Amino acid sequence: MPTVTLHEIESLAEQESARHHHYYIGVEHLFIALTKLENGLSNAVLESCGLEPRFIRYSIRQVIGVNEDRRYWPGFKLTPRARKIFEKVQYYAGIHNPSERDLLLAILDEGDSIPIRVMQEMGADIEYIRRTASNWSTRSKSEVPAVTIQSNVPLSDDERKVLQRMFRNYQRIEVERQLSGGYTAARLLVVRPYQPHRAEARVVVKIDTRSNILYEKRHYDAYVKDTLPPTTARLLDNPALPEDSLLGGLKYTLIQPSGSSDPIDLSSHADSLSGIELGSIIQTNIYDVYAEGWWSQRQRYRFGVWREYEHILPPALEITLSSSQYPVADHVLEPLGTWSRRNTIQVGDTVELRHFTVQKIRPEQNTLQVTAGYGPEAVNRTSKIEIIGLEGEISNYHLGDVIESLFGIVQRTREQILHAQVEQLSPPFDISADSIYGPESVGTLPNPLHHVNHLLDRRLSGYLSIIHGDLHLANILIGPAGDAWLIDFGLTREGHTLFDWATLEVSVLATVIAPRTPNGWEGVWGTIRLLKMINQNQSIAHLRNPVTDALDALRAIREIVGKNLARPNLWSEYYIALALLALRGLSWETTTSIDARRLLFLTAALAVQAADEAESSLIGSDVTRDGFGSQIDKLSAYDIDISEEDLD
């Protein structure tokens, strides 16, 4: 084991402190420095105690946060506790040079510090870690044998590393199969771990990029662990995050109906259910069971629609980088500005982007996505701009980096991107006109693409609660007793309560109702006519066919929405959410049929109309004065969470 000097550790701690703009050295910075010594004793000790150094580091950073104040401060002062620790290090070292081990022991002895609390929250036994550290010898590490991995599916080296780390205390594991059904790039594996003489229960391993894994874990801890009933996929252990891999993994309990060896999610199961049955699962097994912890724990708030919904739409702009730096660009754009929902920027305009954060990197496509901040929180992902045609330069960018300044030329606006998506649906109407002329039974609908910016710019009164954030049918599983279980908490957050229900309605439309709809635009218009009747609360009971049957599931969702409207009977709050979430579906080219996307587009048109009608029918009543005037604006709860280099 290479020996590091205390001085080297101190300078790592200073770097850590500087990047949080702290300008002092506390125990937390020292401990993070220890976890950054790749082949260090601390990491070996922590790992052998079942703790993940990278995860500890991440969690400490979450606790200490970034100081907004970026002014220069000469020198780094030791906090009193850090000073005490250094005195102890000297004492332990005696006549020798102080070592990494001396520092680790001194920190472990000091008690109630942030790193200690973070590790205790992970279930660590600090006394045991201390004993392991003081007895540690260089040979200890090689005593942990590799786990034998038998697999029925191909695994990459990085995926193997994650499994090695996750199951290090087992003799062998068998990767039985892989699950499909998710819409992200995550890999889901069913794994059976074995100890020498017995097999243990199968688990589901979710492997994804480190950042996604860390976010899912953090959101699970914050919003799921203590709030939801037992019918929730349980996260087992802390995430596995090998230092030398870009991937990480989470371990969940496997959920499957009794008697079956396959999990069933509602999107693949919905076909065999009647609309009434599906509706009753949604109402009884989802809403009634989880509302108490989530949707019903809510507060009123006023919000700009863009804060909750802009991130689900295509980027506000698509630009190419410009090699020449103009002294002045046509537009200087900052994150969270109003530019992203106004029609003032044209194709060919030059723009300067200031202080945008790298949110996504797609090397295969040579594109980069920059946004207001970093992470999956809605507001962080607003002000989205796609930078295209990057070729070789792409390796200069890293997730979470804040780019001070960048010049580009506008290639497409969001409206044009949406237009192109609708063009792919071969619309029999003029998509650049203001109105869409449907069959007589439906009449004229507004072109939703011409309303996007206006909708985003509106302010609404609503409820703020914990929401699932991705409540579609494939994230609801049928459990052993035929009950419904929620999974996939990567986007769980505090947000607009109706976001979940509009998401679920779009999911039901795309995966249950569209397949039952007769083909082509004509069939789609037929379903739209029924939806219009539902919006207007007319009975469709006399029109029995597979579509009307499935629409009973929507009625259940609408009943739930009715209970969660901020202003009773002011349905525009919901229709605006529905219009924007339905438009998101236009981009699901690879997973969603053309007819399903046609249905979503017209659903958006219908929703824009319904929002309008809901409001005009209430003109003159007190509702138009728009609720909660005196309530505090909750926007301050949405501080941007820029965790620049949380992941290195």
Q: What is the DSSP letter of 380?
A: G
For the purposes of burial, counting CB atoms within 10 Å of the CB of 222, is it exposed (0-12), middle (13-18) or buried (19 or more)?
Answer: middle
Q: Provide, rounded to whole angstroms, the least separation between the CB of residue 486 and ligand ADP.
A: 10
Q: Provide, rounded to whole angstroms, the least separation between the CB of residue 224 and ligand ADP.
A: 12
Q: What Å distances lie between residue 419 and 192, 247, 425, 439, 601, CA to CA?
A: 48, 36, 10, 22, 11
Q: Provide, rounded to whole angstroms, the least separation between the CB of residue 488 and ligand ADP.
A: 3
By CB under 6 A, name the one of 16, 159, 386, 488 that touches ligand ADP: 488
For the purposes of burial, counting CB atoms within 10 Å of the CB of 411, is it exposed (0-12), middle (13-18) or buried (19 or more)?
Answer: middle
Residues 602 and 445: beta-carbon distance below 8 Å? yes
Q: 100 is in the binding site of which of ligand ADP, Mg ion, none (Cβ under 5 to 8 A by kind)?
A: none
By CB under 6 A, name the one of 32, 119, 166, 186 that touches ligand ADP: 186
The answer to whether residue 491 forms part of the interface with ligand ADP (CB under 6 A) is no
Q: Provide, rounded to whole angstroms, the least separation between the CB of residue 91 and Mg ion.
A: 53
Enter the tokens of residue 264.
């069933």
Q: What Å distances lie between residue 57 and 53, 235, 505, CA to CA?
A: 6, 20, 40
Q: Provide, rounded to whole angstroms, the least separation between the CB of residue 188 and ligand ADP.
A: 4
Interface map 1-30 toward Mg ion (x if CB under 5 A) = ------------------------------
Q: Tell me the one-letter amino acid at 380.
A: N
**b/e map 92-108, b = 16+ CB within 10 Å:** bbeeeebbbbbbbbbbb
The answer to whether residue 488 forms part of the interface with Mg ion (CB under 5 A) is yes
| 453 vs 475 by CB, closer to Mg ion | 475
By CB under 6 A, name the one of 188, 466, 570, 579 that touches ligand ADP: 188
The answer to whether residue 588 forms part of the interface with ligand ADP (CB under 6 A) is no
The answer to whether residue 178 forms part of the interface with ligand ADP (CB under 6 A) is no
Enter the tokens of residue 490.
């990567």
Q: Provide, rounded to whole angstroms, the least separation between the CB of residue 182 and Mg ion.
A: 4
The answer to whether residue 265 forms part of the interface with ligand ADP (CB under 6 A) is yes
Q: Of residues 398-457, which lie at the interface with Mg ion (CB under 5 A)? A: none
Q: Which residues pair with 195 in a beta bridge?
A: 198
Q: Tokens 């703009």 belong to which residue?
A: 21
Q: Provide, rounded to whole angstroms, the least separation between the CB of residue 504 and ligand ADP.
A: 14
Enter the tokens of residue 524.
């789609």
Q: Provide, rounded to whole angstroms, the least separation between the CB of residue 591 and Mg ion.
A: 12
Q: Tell me the one-letter amino acid at 190.
A: V
State the distance between the two ends of the chain, measured CA to CA, in whole angstroms.
Answer: 22
Q: Provide, rounded to whole angstroms, the least separation between the CB of residue 323 and ligand ADP.
A: 38
HSE of 499 in the Cβ direction (CA atoms, 13 Å)?
Answer: 29
The answer to whether residue 184 forms part of the interface with ligand ADP (CB under 6 A) is yes
Q: How far apart are CA 369 and CA 318, in angstroms?
A: 9
Enter the tokens of residue 283.
């109402």
Total residues at interface with ligand ADP (CB under 6 A): 22
Q: How far apart are CA 498 and CA 356, in angstroms?
A: 29
The answer to whether residue 53 forms part of the interface with Mg ion (CB under 5 A) is no
The answer to whether residue 263 forms part of the interface with ligand ADP (CB under 6 A) is yes
The stretch near ligand ADP (CB under 6 A) out of 249-257, 315-323, 385-393, 555-563 is 249-257
Q: Provide, rounded to whole angstroms, the least separation between the CB of residue 491 and Mg ion.
A: 9
Q: Of residues 466-485, which lie at the interface with ligand ADP (CB under 6 A)? A: 474-475, 477
The answer to whether residue 279 forms part of the interface with ligand ADP (CB under 6 A) is no
By CB under 6 A, name the one of 12, 104, 487, 514 that touches ligand ADP: 487
| 167 vs 301 by CB, closer to ligand ADP | 167
The answer to whether residue 475 forms part of the interface with Mg ion (CB under 5 A) is yes
Enter the tokens of residue 335.
């994150």
Please spell the DSSP secondary structure of 123-143, one letter per residue: T--HHHHHHHHHH--GGGGGG
The stretch near ligand ADP (CB under 6 A) out of 175-183, 285-293, 515-523, 526-534 is 175-183
By CB under 5 A, name the one of 26, 53, 115, 182 that touches Mg ion: 182
**Residue 498 CB partners (closer than 8 Å, separation 6+):** 462, 463, 561, 564, 565, 573, 574, 577
| 151 vs 178 by CB, closer to ligand ADP | 178
The answer to whether residue 263 forms part of the interface with Mg ion (CB under 5 A) is no
Q: Of residues 520-539, which lie at the interface with Mg ion (CB under 5 A)? A: none
Q: What Å distances lie between residue 636 and 504, 632, 633, CA to CA?
A: 28, 9, 7
Give the CA radius of gyration of the chain: 27
By CB under 6 A, name the one of 122, 179, 431, 635 that touches ligand ADP: 179
Q: How far apart are CA 166 and CA 520, in angstroms?
A: 49
The stretch near ligand ADP (CB under 6 A) out of 54-62, 90-98, 252-260, 460-468 is 252-260
Q: What is the largest CA-CA distance in the chain?
A: 94
| 208 vs 549 by CB, closer to ligand ADP | 208
The answer to whether residue 255 forms part of the interface with ligand ADP (CB under 6 A) is yes
The answer to whether residue 377 forms part of the interface with ligand ADP (CB under 6 A) is no
- Rounded to the nearest 5 percent, the helix, strand and coil shares of the chain are 45, 20, 35
The answer to whether residue 233 forms part of the interface with ligand ADP (CB under 6 A) is yes
Q: 375 is in the binding site of which of Mg ion, ligand ADP, none (Cβ under 5 to 8 A by kind)?
A: none
By CB under 6 A, name the one of 6, 12, 162, 254 that touches ligand ADP: 254
582-588 long-range Cβ contacts below 8 angstroms, 24+ apart: 582/506, 582/509, 582/607, 583/313, 583/418, 583/448, 583/449, 583/452, 584/312, 584/313, 584/506, 585/506, 585/510, 586/418, 586/421, 586/422, 586/425, 587/314, 587/421, 588/183, 588/510
List contacts with Mg ion (CB under 5 A): 182, 475, 488
List contacts with ligand ADP (CB under 6 A): 179, 181-184, 186, 188, 204, 206, 233, 252-255, 263, 265, 474-475, 477, 487-488, 490
